[in-house]
């Protein structure tokens, strides 16, 4: 670009900027120091709300992971029910907030205790500083949480009990903890404001939008159980298998006709039985909820609220990936009646499922999530 063109563009841009319409009111210019203070306040609020949301998910989901073991035969782990962190688990401005609000330093300390899990029963408390486990020093500094996670996993695998040394109020104490089995599907809150939740075969993700939408513990438990059911019923693997059939068809059409289908059949086949999988997750999830001690009597009304929030989904749509809210409402009400009838007859509370079909699907992979806790 020569100098004349550059000069012309500069003059043009300057003229356009000068020609922009400006506000007419003479407002008070914000004080920069006050703006900086407000920014700090908002960061602290965001930090606190993120912590509260994740802990709420743990509080609601932890009993479900423990009580749904019969559904997770191929995906279990032993746990003690804690989360832990030091200041290096937080970045930027949030590290200073973690230090000031949570009292974190370079050493690892307990940040959350799960209700009715071994750590709580043994007397471990939030704020306890971790010193050692079975005689092995707890890592400190950067990557301490990751290294302790590996150490904890090793000790749980090799020992029936764990001897912890902790510091509480300046005093060293020893606690013996006996790990218990739970379903090995980490619970993760995402920052998305959309009302959604999803499973990837290894983890359970709940958006912040869904956390806000689920008003009660029972409603959030429905969501967690639904996503856990997707994982335990191996729906993700089933969808991958279906997509593979479509991919083969796409490839064959391309080879024999030269037509590029752009993955049309792979996408279409991936959605095969999608509504049925969703209904199955509702069905199995309700049993998980009931077994975990949550009230499922109003479960259908939660999905009615979802339908009202998204009125475009109320009508039947055969191409949709989810059942319509009216269909979902009626099916859930029927499942609740089925569960109540089994309870009255003193039958074992287990859904009517074909175990052989589930076992024929590939087992879920190890969790890819970088979780701190359990």
Q: Could you give the CA distance from residue 212 to residue 271 in angstroms, rounded to a whole number?
A: 29
CATH class of 42-183: mainly beta
**Closest listed residue to residue 140, CA positions, set 102, 107, 166:** 107
Q: Could you give the CA distance from residue 244 to residue 270 in angstroms, rounded to a whole number?
A: 8
Tens of pLDDT along 238-251? 545 443 333 333 34
Q: Where are the domains of the chain?
A: 42-183, 187-359
Query: In degrees, to the nearest 5, what angle opens at C-alpha 27 toward C-alphas 26 and 30?
Result: 140
Q: Could you give the CA distance from residue 182 to residue 180 in angstroms, rounded to a whole number?
A: 7
Helices assigned H by DSSP within 292-353: 299-309, 325-344
Higher pLDDT, 150 or 253: 150
Tens of pLDDT along 352-372? 876 665 565 556 565 544 343
The stretch 304-308 carries a mean pLDDT of 80
**Closest listed residue to residue 195, CA positions, set 305, 60, 95:** 305
Query: In degrees, to the nearest 5, what angle opens at C-alpha 256 toward C-alphas 250 and 260?
Result: 45
Q: Which of 1-15, 111-125, 318-332 has the lowest mean pLDDT?
A: 1-15
Q: Could you give the CA distance from residue 190 to residue 194 in angstroms, rounded to a whole number?
A: 10
* Helix (H), strand (E) at residue 111: strand 109-113
Residues in the chain, overall count: 374
Residue 294 near residue 68 (C-beta atoms within 8 A): no
Res 360: pLDDT: 57
| pLDDT over threshold 60, residue 328 | yes
Q: Which residues contact 310 (CB under 8 A, 6 or more apart)?
A: 325
Res 256: pLDDT: 43
Q: Could you give the CA distance from residue 239 to residue 77 in angstroms, rounded to a whole number?
A: 25
Q: Could you give the CA distance from residue 187 to residue 202 in angstroms, rounded to a whole number?
A: 10
Tens of pLDDT along 76-112? 999 999 999 999 999 888 999 999 989 999 999 999 9
Res 319: pLDDT: 43
Crossing angle of helices 217-232 and 274-291, in 10° steps, is 120
What torsion do the CA atoms of 138, 141, 143, 146 make, to the nearest 10 degrees?
Answer: 20
Tokens of 122: 């043994």
Residue 83 near residue 62 (C-beta atoms within 8 A): no
**Closest listed residue to residue 125, CA positions, set 171, 73, 168:** 168
Q: What is the pTM of this model?
A: 0.79
Tokens of 108: 């690892």
């Amino acid at each position: 670009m020569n100098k004349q063109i550059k000069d012309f563009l500069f003059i043009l841009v300057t003229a356009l900027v000068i020609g922009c319409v400006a506000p007419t009111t003479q407002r008070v210019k914000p004080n920069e120091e006050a703006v900086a203070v407000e920014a700090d306040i908002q960061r602290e609020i965001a930090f606190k709300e993120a912590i509260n949301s994740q802990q709420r998910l743990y509080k609601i989901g932890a009993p479900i992971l423990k009580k749904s073991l019969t559904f997770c035969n191929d995906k279990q782990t032993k746990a003690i029910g804690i989360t832990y962190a030091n200041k290096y688990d937080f970045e930027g401005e949030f590290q200073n907030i973690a230090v000031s609000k949570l009292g974190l330093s370079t050493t690892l300390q307990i940040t959350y205790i799960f209700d009715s899990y071994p750590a709580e029963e043994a007397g471990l408390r939030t704020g306890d500083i971790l010193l050692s486990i079975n005689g092995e020093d707890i890592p400190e500094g950067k990557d301490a949480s990751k290294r302790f996670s590996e150490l904890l996993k090793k000790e749980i695998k090799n020992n029936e009990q764990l001897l912890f040394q902790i510091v509480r109020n300046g005093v060293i104490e020893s606690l013996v903890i006996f790990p218990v089995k739970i379903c090995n599907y980490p619970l993760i809150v995402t920052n998305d404001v959309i009302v959604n939740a999803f499973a990837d075969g290894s983890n359970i993700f709940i958006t912040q939008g869904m956390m806000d939408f689920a008003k009660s513990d029972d409603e959030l438990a429905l969501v967690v159980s639904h996503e856990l059911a997707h994982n335990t019923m191996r729906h993700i693997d089933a969808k991958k298998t279906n997509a593979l059939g479509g991919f083969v068809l796409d490839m064959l059409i391309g080879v024999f006709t030269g037509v590029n289908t752009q993955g049309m059949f792979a996408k279409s086949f991936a959605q095969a039985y999608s509504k049925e999988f969703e209904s199955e997750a509702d069905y199995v999830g309700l049993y998980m909820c009931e077994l975990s001690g949550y009230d499922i009597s109003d479960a259908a009304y939660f999905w009615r609220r979802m339908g009202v929030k998204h009125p475009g989904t109320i009508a039947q749509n055969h191409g949709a990936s989810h059942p319509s809210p009216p269909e979902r409402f009626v099916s859930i009400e029927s499942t609740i009646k089925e569960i109540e009838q089994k309870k009255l007859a003193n039958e074992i509370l287990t859904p009517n499922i074909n175990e052989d079909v589930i076992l024929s699907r590939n087992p879920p992979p190890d969790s890819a999530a970088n979780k701190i806790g359990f």
